Amino acid sequence: MERGATVFVGTHLSRTFGQVAAVRDVSCRITATDRIAVTGASGSGKSTLLQLIAGIDDPSGGRAAWPALDGHPRRRPGRIGIVFQSPALLPTLDVHENVALSVLLAGQSAGQARRAASEALRLLHLDDLADRLPHELSGGQAQRVAVARAVATNPDLVVADEPTAALDSATAAHLLDVLLSTVDRLGAALVLATHDSTVAGRMDIRWPMADGTIPTAKASS
């Protein structure tokens, strides 16, 4: 992707659940190769904002747009890679199949999916685990598989919701290394929610969330 291309623009985004306003009037911009840390207390709306950015949830107010992806990501699956707060692997698929599934859903053929999955697993040094089932993995391994799944489609944007929250610091650091090097190689933007200041410290930009809003940052670079 072109350097400096705008991957996401949110204008006055809000998302309410009944009485609760999880995200309130957030305007933001993400460009290619941005490394953004979304921080904030529990319940401040990080996950909700990330879901809006990833396009898996629709804002109650405001507008979300993905200029560089020309269109809504739900219509163009695979352009955004998602790492959920929990690994969220499909229990009935082995590691390779889990990774290949996202490629298949992006519209690739079965053969392409197989190759892309093998490639992603190799990059994350997960080759040995390829035919394990999710319940046969450790938490860190599972989260690495989730990262592999997120990057296997060569996305332009990777959205990761506290990918290291359940891991010890060494494993967390390793996972972050892998994630950063992968998005570097892909030239993709990365938005990552975290409580952890060391993790946040390795990012270029920090969006501190409080009560559903980002008081300072409006846009990046």
Partner 1 sequence: MMIWLTGLLRRRTGRILGTAAGIAAAVALLATVGSFLSTARASMTARAVAPVQVDWQVHLNAGADPRAVLATTRAEPGVAVALPVGYAKVPALSTQDGTTVSTTGAAVVVGLPPDYRTVFPGQIRDLGGTGNGVLLAQQTAANLRARPGSVVTVTRPGLPAAQVTVDGIVDLPHADTMLALDPAATAPPDNVLLLPATTFTTLFDPLRADRPDLLADQIHVRTDRRLPADPGTAYTVSTGAAHHLDATLAGAGQSTDNLAAALDAARSDAAYATALFLFLASPGAALAGLLTATVVAAAADRRRKEQALLRARGATARQLLSIAAVEATVSGIIGAALGAAAAAALGSLVFGDSGTAAWSAAAAAAGLVIAAGTVLLPAGRSLRTQTVAAGRTGAARPRLPLVLRLGVDGIALVGAFLVLRATTATGYQLVVAPEGAPRIAVDHWAFTGPALLWIGAALLTWRLVEAGLRFGRRPLTTLLRPVAGPLAGTVAATLQRRRRPIATAATLIACAIAFAVSTAAFTATYQQQAEVDARLTNGADVTVTATPGDLTGGLADAIHATPGVRHVETIQHRFAYVGADLQDLYAVRPATITGGAHLADAWFTGGTAETLMHRLEQQPDGILVSAETVTDFQLQPGDQLILRITDPRTGNPTPVTFHFLGVVNEFPTAPTDSFLVANQHYIAGKVGDGPSTHLIDAGGHDPATVAAALRAAIGPGPAITDITASRTVIGSSLTAVDLDGLTRIELGFALLLAVASAGLVLALGLTERRRTFTITTALGARVRHLAGFVAGEALVITVPALVIGAGTGVGLAQVLIVILKGTFDPPPDRMALPWTYLIVLGAAMVAAVAVTVTGVLAQTRKPRLALLRDV
Residue from 39, 47, 143, 213 that binds ligand ATP (CB under 6 A)?
A: 47
What binding mask, one character per residue, do residues 41-60 give for partner 1 by CB under 8 A, x or -? ------x---x--x-xx---
Distance CA 64, CA 23 (A): 13
48 part of the interface to ligand ATP, by CB under 6 A? yes
Angular region, 112: left φ>0, alpha ψ -120 to 50, beta rest: alpha
Shortest gap between Cβ of 89 and ligand ATP (angstroms)?
19
What's the closest the beta carbon of residue 161 comes to partner 1, in angstroms? 9
R_g of the chain computed on alpha carbons? 17
Chain positions 74 to 93 lying near partner 1, rule: CB under 8 A, are 74, 77-78, 82, 84-86, 88, 90-93
Q: Residue 12 Cβ, how far from Mg ion at the closest point, in Å? A: 22
SS (H, E, C) the chain: CCCCCEEEEEEEEEEEECCEEEEEEEEEEEECCCEEEEEECCCCCHHHHHHHHHCCCCCCEEEEECHHHCCCCCCCCCCEEEECCCCCCCCCCCHHHHHHHHHHHCCCCHHHHHHHHHHHHHHCCCHHHCCCCHHHCCHHHHHHHHHHHHHCCCCCEEEEECCCCCCCHHHHHHHHHHHHHHHHHHCCEEEEECCCHHHHHCCCEEEEEECCECCCCCCCC
Q: How far is the CB of 216 from partner 1 (least distance, A)?
A: 27
Give the nearest distance from C-beta 21 to ligand ATP in angstroms: 8
Stretch 5-34: interaction string toward ligand ATP, x if CB under 6 A: ------------x--x-x------------
Residues in the chain: 221
Q: Do residues 129 and 2 lie in contact, with contact meaning Cβ atoms separated by under 8 Å?
A: no
Q: Nearer to ligand ATP by C-beta: 42 or 92?
A: 42
Tell me if 44 contacts ligand ATP by CB under 6 A. Answer: yes
User: x-or-dash pattern for partner 1, window 142-171, by CB under 8 A?
Assistant: -------x----------------------
CB atoms within 10 A of CB 100: 25
Q: Which residues contact Mg ion (rule: CB under 5 A)?
A: 47
Applying CB under 8 A, the residues found at the interface with partner 1 are 47, 51, 54, 56-57, 73-74, 77-78, 82, 84-86, 88, 90-94, 97, 100-102, 104-106, 108-110, 113, 133, 135, 149
Interface contacts to ligand ATP, rule CB under 6 A: 17, 20, 22, 40, 42-48
